[in-house]
Amino acid sequence: MQTLYRSLLNVLPRLGVQVLDLGSGTAVLSRRGKRKRTAVGREADLVTRGSGRYAVTRVRPDTWVVARGRGDPSGAWTNVRLGDTGAHLLYDAGSDERTFQLAAATYLCGHHVAGLLEKYEVNCVFDVGANAGQYGRRLRQLGYTGRIVSFEPTEEAFGKLEKAAKDDPEWWVFPFALGREEATQSMHVGWATMNSLLGASDYGKERYRRFAKDRTEEIEIRRLDSVMDKALAGLTDPRPYLKMDTQGYDLEVFAGAGERIEEFVGLQSEVAVLRLYEGSPGMSEAVAAYEDSGFGITGMYPVTREDTTGRVVEFDCVMMRAAAAPK
């Protein structure tokens, strides 16, 4: 014998009402659009309108992530618990391994640096090789509110950098490069984010087609120690951090700090395992120079890897001066 509830469910469709019976005395009624049920664990249901397919990934006993896509996306997401941090990593199981690893390294490096800037009470970041301001924007997104001083010598990139920083009074920009000696020099440009004062190596030319189109631009080079007073002006207790991404020229920038390198509480440098530029230092040479000046490695993150062999081409090397850590 049918209950009154069940009888009503059977009658409603004749009256133009859509019925989605969820069982256990629960139903969803709608006038327009067919509803679909997707089970979410044992205690919940996802009710959607239309014929789209959804994938439900359980993150914690009381937390699910719902994704919509074409076809059947079930099983497309992988949930990984990150130790005892309470954090979880969700990623598309179909992601290319190399692309996924490099993206994860970029994310981890950014958060590592942001944490160190806070821990070491950094109030001025020297952004050398700023390009269009990507690094400065990332720092702001990660919560850094102190001063950023960016250096970019090429005309096109500097225009974009100026635009990125124009509404940020604590982000200063300068249209020149930094190096060992003050000079005017030709810079290889037209290589997008890889413009360099050094020519491409044979390995670099083989790896990147962009190196085949070579043109130069005259740029100004200053020493780091000659601009520090202006960059740090107004800070009562300067605690600077040096980020270098100059396509093989980082050690020249570092040398230009002279004895004032001792004022920096940390640094970040792109170090090469496989050299893309003629005359650039290898990773061991660069790291040794930084260590000789009192910096110790806190993190190494791959920037690029070879598709065919998996070898790392360059690392982002993050280093801090342990003696500068606040007590």
What does the pLDDT average to over 45-52? 68
More confidently predicted of 92 and 153: 153
Q: Which amino acid is at 194?
A: M
- Give the three-state DSSP class for 150: strand
- Give the three-state DSSP class for 73: coil
Q: Are 110 and 314 in contact (CB under 8 A)?
A: no
Q: Are 298 and 319 in contact (CB under 8 A)?
A: yes
Domain layout of the chain by residue ranges: 49-94, 97-324
- Predicted pLDDT at 73: 46
CA separation for the pair 161, 178 (Å, rounded): 16
- φ, ψ for residue 240 (rounded to 5)? -85, 155
Best CATH choice for the domain 97-324 from the list 3.50.50.60, 2.60.40.2130, 3.30.420.40, 3.40.50.150: 3.40.50.150
Q: Which amino acid is at 228?
A: M
Tokens linked to 299: 């993190």
Residues 6+ apart with CB under 8 A from 202: none
Tens of pLDDT, residue by residue over 74-86, are 456 777 888 888 8
- Predicted pLDDT at 315: 97
- Lowest average pLDDT, out of 60-64, 105-109, 265-269, goes to 60-64
- Predicted pLDDT at 48: 73
Cα dihedral value 54, 59, 62, 65, nearest 10: -30
Question: Which whole-number Å values give the CA distances from 51 to 35, 42, 69, 113, 115, in the listed order?
Answer: 8, 23, 11, 45, 45
Alpha helices in the chain (DSSP H): 4-11, 97-119, 134-141, 155-165, 202-207, 224-232, 250-255, 283-292
- Give the three-state DSSP class for 33: coil
- Lowest average pLDDT, out of 32-41, 126-135, 179-188, goes to 32-41
Which residues on neighbouring strands pair with residue 184, listed in sequence order?
Answer: 220
CA separation for the pair 276, 218 (Å, rounded): 21
More confidently predicted of 218 and 15: 218
Given a cut of 60, whether residue 32 has pLDDT beyond it is yes
What confidence category does residue 60 fall into, taking pLDDT thresholds of 50, 70 and 90? confident
- Predicted pLDDT at 94: 67
- φ, ψ for residue 185 (rounded to 5)? -145, 155
Tokens linked to 276: 């893309």
Tens of pLDDT, residue by residue over 139-184, are 999 999 999 999 999 999 999 999 999 999 999 999 999 999 999 9
CA separation for the pair 132, 72 (Å, rounded): 40
Q: Which amino acid is at 41?
A: G
Tens of pLDDT, residue by residue over 270-288, are 999 999 999 999 999 999 9
Intra-chain end-to-end CA distance of the chain, in Å: 78
Given a cut of 50, whether residue 297 has pLDDT beyond it is yes
